[in-house]
Structure 1
Amino acid sequence: MPSCLRNPWWCSPVATAFHTLDVFTDRRFGGNPLAVLPDASGLSVEQMQQVAREFNLSETAFVLPTKTPDAQRRVRIFTPAGELPFAGHPTVGSAVLLVDLGLVPAGGAVTRFVLEEQIGPVAVTVTTRRGRAVSAQLEAPQLPVVTDRSATTDQIAAVLSLPAAAIGTPQLEPQLASGGVPFLVVPVADPRVLARISFDLGAWQRHLAGTDDQNMYVVRVADESVEARMFGPAFRIPEDPATGAAAVALGGYLAQHAPDGAHRWVVTQGVEMGRPSRIELDVEVADGLAVAVHIGGNAVRVADGTLRVTGYAD
């Protein structure tokens, strides 16, 4: 990009609208906050990353025109550390916003369309109530795969500042699961254990950083409900109040222990952060495998504004 000193035109700010939403909640200041730029066509990839660092939220979504015939829009998702191929709460929040702004025409009480993401096409369904888009559900673009972990129980316990005996349950053990983004799913038996977790960044850097196990999703499973916490320092996310991609991965993990048929789990997250979230996880199970996964929840608009970015893309 030319220097501002050589070409002052490049220093002229490009103004673009942004909106923030709280996702996986029906109340403002709960759930997972998200920034969305509904028209990011004037931004370079470098600028998208700068904007994501400026907002410093777990993710920022950038909506672009799409060249995919069946998709309405393209969405690129950035954490403060880099781009993700897929993430749940930016997909849900972007879908709700696009319908609420009228950028995707509402088709009555339910509007179905496709968003193009780095992982591929993502089918979404937005529900409208009294003229406002209030919730969305997405179909996982990639079925989750579950594999063995490389981290030891002692290493996992050290990172979470828990005794090794607190890791795992009689039925469940830590495993790696991924529906596009890998997560180390760590089950615990007692909900009080979740509250006692103190994430040890030094232990994480020694044992897990740079491995497939580096994103930790700690869960307590009870029948049709799950309590969860997610720690993702590799994304510059110390802790996330709601993690849709982790819920997708969890669907594959839970399917191993579920009978064939349709199952729903309600995942609560963010309680310890003061941002309670609710993710509805629907999984179709056949022979211990997830053959279809949907996640969904509410989203509420919080703020609207204008962002000024210096220069613009080719």
Structure 2
Amino acid sequence: MTAPRLRPFAQVDVFSAEAYRGNPLAVVLDAEGLDAAVMQQFANWTNLAETTFLLPPTDPGADYRVRIFTGSEEFPFAGHPTLGSAHAWLEAGGIPARDGIVVQECAAGLVRVKRDGGRLAFAAPPLTRSGPVAAPDLARIAAGLGLPQEALLDASWLVNGPEWIGVLLESAAQVLAIRPDYAALAGLKVGVIGPHPAGSDVGFEVRTFIPGDAAAEDPVTGSFNAGAAQWLIGTGRAPGSYLAAQGTVLGRAGRVNIEASDGDIWVGGQSVSCIEGFVLL
């Protein structure tokens, strides 16, 4: 095991142009020599939704490699850690091999991140599971959301790392009114999306619920927004470009920009560095 040393560290607020209104991410910018157990312990200690660890790439097509940990498990891919890691890597002096495109290597493969003005956006990875949700799970989800089952206009598996189930409701107001019963949702990761009225500044409202030992609502969720965009644009329920809000009921102001372009769906947002320094690992 490598002896602990000071390593450059950043804490980034993702999907918000205003500090402390998005979803925070801890980034260890030099994780060479750390084993998975140390990474997991540190991620548990930060007590954030995710912590990432940047490493030299093993794929010659990548600019860097990332490992993504929640407080209890490692993810092959996640959205806000992708944007936050790319933001921190660029701010630390990282220079991508391709102008305007950062290529991140993660357990799910290579993910492209483009610079779009003041935003970064990642190309949504392919879904590894999609399609109908079984009737017993739909009944549990409806109970967990406190809604009659007919209020669930549609539902689909949206797995691209985290095992999300997406649920479409009739309106953003319905989404904002949910008071989840995490016991009823146990074992399921559920994301809910509903449209704002025509003419609103924001197209959709999103909320994501993660039952478990520390049941929580995620402030802003890139992976779910990526899967939801693939699902809703693909079925004609959403336009090819829209803005989603998330975190509203938590006092956040998350904004997720969705754009379908040349066969890709890009999921983007602004990020702000809030803490910079070193950690002993």
* Contact in 2 for aligned 1:25/1:298 (Cα 8 Å): yes
| Secondary structure of the structure 1 residue equivalent to 2:100 | strand
Q: Does 1:281 align with 2:258?
A: yes
* Contact in 2 for aligned 1:282/1:294 (Cα 8 Å): yes
Question: Paired residue for 1:219?
Answer: 193
Structure 1 residues 235 and 35, CA gap change in structure 2 (3 angstroms): farther
Structure 1 residues 268 and 259, CA gap change in structure 2 (3 angstroms): closer
Q: 1:162 aligns with which of 143, 147, 161?
A: 147
Question: Paired residue for 2:168?
Answer: 187
* TM superposition shift of 1:146: 2.8
Supply the AA of the counterpart residue of 1:149.
V
Question: Paired residue for 1:138?
Answer: 122
Question: Paired residue for 1:7?
Answer: none
Percent identity between the aligned chains? Answer: 32
| Secondary structure of the structure 2 residue equivalent to 1:203 | coil
- Residue pairs, 1:236-247, within 5 angstroms: 236=214, 238-247=216-225
* TM superposition shift of 1:62: 0.6
| Secondary structure of the structure 2 residue equivalent to 1:54 | helix
Question: Paired residue for 1:177?
Answer: 158
Q: 2:104 aligns with which of 89, 109, 115?
A: 115
| Secondary structure of the structure 2 residue equivalent to 1:202 | coil
* Contact in 2 for aligned 1:66/1:116 (Cα 8 Å): yes
Q: Does 1:23 align with 2:50?
A: no
Aligned equivalents of 1:24, 1:159: Cα separation in 2: 27
Question: Paired residue for 1:301?
Answer: 273
* TM superposition shift of 1:283: 2.6
| Secondary structure of the structure 1 residue equivalent to 2:185 | helix
Question: Paired residue for 1:270?
Answer: 247
| Structure 1 residue ranges, 4+ long, deviating more than 4 angstroms after superposition | 234-237
Output the aligned Cα RMSD. Answer: 2.5
Structure 1 residues 48 and 252, CA gap change in structure 2 (3 angstroms): same
Structure 1 residues 299 and 247, CA gap change in structure 2 (3 angstroms): same
* Contact in 2 for aligned 1:146/1:252 (Cα 8 Å): no
Supply the AA of the counterpart residue of 2:121.
Q
- Structure 2: which 5+ residue stretches go unaligned? none
Supply the AA of the counterpart residue of 2:95.
V
* Contact in 2 for aligned 1:85/1:119 (Cα 8 Å): yes
* Contact in 2 for aligned 1:143/1:179 (Cα 8 Å): yes
* TM superposition shift of 1:162: 2.8
TM-score between both structures, scaled by the size of structure 1: 0.80
Question: Paired residue for 1:97?
Answer: 88
Structure 1 residues 242 and 74, CA gap change in structure 2 (3 angstroms): same
Q: Does 1:34 align with 2:30?
A: no
* TM superposition shift of 1:271: 0.5
Aligned equivalents of 1:21, 1:283: Cα separation in 2: 26
* Contact in 2 for aligned 1:116/1:122 (Cα 8 Å): yes
Q: Does 1:257 align with 2:241?
A: no
Supply the AA of the counterpart residue of 1:28.
A
Supply the AA of the counterpart residue of 1:263.
G
* Contact in 2 for aligned 1:34/1:90 (Cα 8 Å): yes
* TM superposition shift of 1:195: 2.5
| Secondary structure of the structure 1 residue equivalent to 2:41 | helix
Structure 1 residues 154 and 89, CA gap change in structure 2 (3 angstroms): same
* TM superposition shift of 1:55: 0.7
Aligned equivalents of 1:66, 1:198: Cα separation in 2: 42
* Contact in 1 for aligned 2:183/2:211 (Cα 8 Å): no
Supply the AA of the counterpart residue of 1:215.
K
TM-score between both structures, scaled by the size of structure 2: 0.89
* Contact in 2 for aligned 1:177/1:184 (Cα 8 Å): yes
From the CA coordinates, give the structure whose radius of gyration is larger.
Answer: 1
Q: 1:201 aligns with which of 149, 159, 182?
A: 182
Q: 1:125 aligns with which of 101, 114, 123?
A: 114
* Contact in 2 for aligned 1:144/1:248 (Cα 8 Å): no
Question: Paired residue for 1:5?
Answer: none
* Contact in 2 for aligned 1:48/1:78 (Cα 8 Å): yes
Deviation string for 1:219-242 (max 9, x for gaps)? 102467110000112595611111
